[in-house]
Each structure stands twice: as C-alpha cells, then as structure tokens.
Amino acid sequence: MTAVPFLKMHGLGNDFVVLDARRQNLSLSVQQRQRLGDRHFGVGFDQMVTLENPVTPGADVFMRLHNADGSEARACGNATRCIAARIMDEKANGHAVIETVAGLLPAERLGNGEIAVDMGPANLDWADIPVAAACDTLHMPVALGPVSDPVGVNVGSSHAVFFVPDVDAIDLPVIGPQLENHLFFPQRANIEFVQILSPASMRMRVWERGAGITLACGSGACATLVAAARRGLSGRKGQVIVDGGTLTIEWLENGHVRMTGPWSLSYEGVIDLDSLAGKAGFVNGHG
C-alpha cells in the first residue's frame, strides 16, 4: 500500500486535491489521476495540484496542475490562491511566489484574509490564444447555436468569452464541450458565458477545458473582465460573479491581471495510490 497524505481545498467551490511532492517522488499515471478525480471511486476534484520544488530563483514552490480528465493544465487562479495561502502559512508571512508552467505568480494576503494574485499579462494576439487562423481576437469567427462572436484572451490558459443576455439560458452541458473542442481551438479552450449586470459587475458561467462545468474559474474570471473591458462593456476593474461566489478582477495598466478572492481548506486525508488502479479508497480523513 502506498499511503499518501493530501489536502482537499477549494476556491469558491472550484475544488482541488493537493499532493506534496517536494520531499517524495509522486508520479501518477493518467489513469491514476482520473481515478483520484472521480467523485465516486476517488476523492474527486476539478484539478489535482502537485507541489514541487521550485525551478526559478525567488519562487517558493512549483505548482503543477492536472484536470479531472488527467490532462495537464497551465494555470488556475483559484488553485493559486489556495496554494499561496498554504505557503504563506508555512513561511509565516503574507507573501508568496507560486511558479507554474505559465510563469511566476506573486501573491499577497490581504487584511480580510483574502488572497490577491498577479496572474500575469493578458495575452491578446491570435497566436497566443491559440486559434487555427489569424484573426482579430476581439471578434473571433466562432458560432454555435445561440452564441457567436467571442473574445479571445489568454491568461495563463486559453479562453473564449461569449457575451449573452442571460447566462442561465445557456445549455452549458451541451454547448460547452462542443465549443471546447471546436476546430478553431487546436489546443481546446476554456469557454465562458457572460452576462453584463453593470459596468462594474458581470455574471459568468464556465465550461473548463478538461474539467467540464465548475463553480468557479479564476483565470476565466480574469479573461472575462479583460474581454468586457476590451468591448467597452466595463471598466478595468470589476466584480465577476460565478456560481460559487464573487471574485474581484483588475486589468492593471501594465497589462497584468490582478485577481482577489477567498480560499478554503475543506479537510486533510490519506489516499492509497495503489488502489487507484482499481476502485480508490480512503485510508483516513478528517475535517
């Protein structure tokens, strides 16, 4: 039996299993990641987070991300807040630098306990999204059923943002996977549907690449605010309301996007990795 401790954390309901590989080698197969992410046979998560020793000087930890389908993800804003909070507790101070495949993400703890993260620059060129053909990413030539004319933004990962009159009218389980795998997105894409409530407030629902419907998507909220500002529908700072709560997003003058929101530790436990080849089982767990 290979018993490994884990944390279950979430940011506004976007949930994670966190494994610490800084002191032991943890190399899970795609099948093991899928089993661990299964909410019936494993622990269940939107993303699996593996903490590794940092590569870049000045970083506190390397955060590797995998989706519930076993594929690797480049960035996750909600996971970044959770891991930043954990590292700040380890360091006993209010600052942390999280290294990801998408770059270094500096974070700070605010007085109300929320975590603010510099998610890096919003990349807007068609090749940065990426898409299959050169285009103006302010109006991408993608349409399906009742939605069309998305804005393309890459904030560590690729996003296509559709503005709609009523997000609750969108049949997300049907249209989400079709758009994620649309031929215009050769590496697939995260799909956001956004309803503007005011120049400083918008409602977003998301279909995440490799994870499906989630209650929140931090990088998606960042992409949403940037897309709205580019379209002249909002200012450069606002509230993005997701199914799990609210994030504050600001598109800074230097082109970076700052995300602020809460984080939570749900419980700690131990999982038998050997059992993930079949039906996974808890060894122990406590809140």
Question: Which burial class, exposed, middle or buried, applies to 148 when counting CB atoms under 10 A from its CB (0-12, 13-18, 19+)?
Answer: middle
Among positive and negative, which fits the CA dihedral 136, 168, 73, 107?
A: positive
Please determine, for residue 286, whether its predicted confidence score (pLDDT) is greater than 80. Answer: no
Q: Report, as an integer, the average pLDDT of 85-103.
A: 96
Residue 126 CA to residue 104 CA, distance in Å, equals 23
76 assigned to active site: yes
pLDDT tens sequence across 223-268? 999 999 999 999 999 999 999 999 999 999 999 999 999 999 999 9
Active site residue 222: no
Please identify which of the residues 76, 82, 135, 222 carries the catalytic annotation.
76
Dihedral over alpha carbons 54, 69, 202, 115 (to 10 degrees): -30
Residue 1 predicted with pLDDT over 70? no
C-alpha neighbours within 13 Å on the C-beta side of residue 39: 6
Q: Give the tens place of pLDDT for each residue, 111-161.
A: 999 999 999 999 999 999 999 999 999 999 999 999 999 999 999 999 999
- Distance, in Å, from the CA atom of 143 to the CA atom of 249, rounded to the nearest integer, reads 27
